A and B are shown apart, each in its own frame.
Chain A
């Protein structure tokens, strides 16, 4: 595809026209156009340089972004592992608390401490200062009601 241009540029010199008319008129002055060609030639180099540097820069940025993403993914994975482990710990502690605070465990621990179940319900009315209900000594209690 690039072939025709050099061909046409090569043509002007071997053309036979000057030999027909020896007393030639001043030349055709196509030079300014020819002069402009070298300046055009220098441009593609700069352009290619810009392009390639952009390409390199883009690749580097892309690589950096990818690295960061991958890095974040690893951090995320570590944090997720941490969450899993902490959740497991929390669940284990909660289970233990539940067992320790269950009424059965509390009752047996209280019995071991020498405590006994309460007797009949008795309330103290704060507005009148009266005892509501009939206080009674617990069947198993060693203490006396005063």
Chain B
């Protein structure tokens, strides 16, 4: 009896193992489907829905398209559903000629009324966090061949704004049929892919749009996005062939991955920068001299080297180098000189170490590393840093209410123009000048003027000046930049990610 009991247990386990046999790659090795593993699911599939972030944008960008788009390198604006365009001399009227024969993925043709409805919805939907992109629009008129947009004021970045993921055409008839809530979840666009299946928190399956207006695209029939929250699991799935592409690869694991012949690692130039944000409404950072001293107590190179390794670099200017000419290259990273910081603090009347709390988001390896390094550096430079780790909601509540002293946040540009990051940083009304509480009216006026300036040379000079003044204010201190890290199967070709984190799926192929 005893032995039969034990045997039963062993046999049961053996039966389970035997039933598993050799496990085939779930779908990744199938040539007409590419599987992308990513951290989380989308909440909505409407680019103007309330929640639009890393979970949603990579999906909606395959489904929806706008009048124009950015080139792969992110430096120029190229036609998409418009063939060409004309801008009036006063910069107020934009006229776009439309590509003929464009259809939504259900086969219905795109009409002029779809453009009017879509662009005005992007402007008027109060719960959209990106409606500011369309706020300059005064009027939209459209036929099936042409779209004419009239602005309420000159707005220099408008063409770049039109490349943003929410300035796309949707079907008004589809919306009228479904209503707002269902429309948020049921996308219908003109892009290379359309939604086939969505299993909440598991996977999103896109299939090729049979009516896509570019012949030969997309190159792969199906793209499946699966949710794999754990970094190690995602990479093991890639190595086992269960997924074909993995994003957000921890920099510390890249060298290990490169040793695997079946895996390719790609680092794409990005506009992603981490910043130290100082609250200027409360001591000690209400004193500009303390902020300026702090700059000398930060070793940005050490932070970049230890956090991002060869895939990062220390930065001085607010605007990313990936924005090309807009980046003010004259601004240089200050050398780490803790003694200078101490002297500056002493000269400003601070005889004891200046104590402050650095609040950061918990559960994020990069923020933890940055905070730890900042503490070790600044504690030697006349400061006394206490690290406070808060989960995302508490952290958000803290900095939006300006009850923090310092925190670390990041920015990725949405468009090929500096107006996004500069507006966020200097405009108090947007979000307390990026949660620093600094009211610098002359700087804000300069930023407003720059957004209206139509002379390219003058506008460039204005943005360089804005970066210089932010550098001097030292309320937002850029720390380091890093590339976007992706890993994929060696069988995958055509993987490309723009500096704005636009993931292009239509060119992807996978060999058998």
Tell whether A pairs with B. no
Point out residues on A near B: beta carbons under 8 Å: none
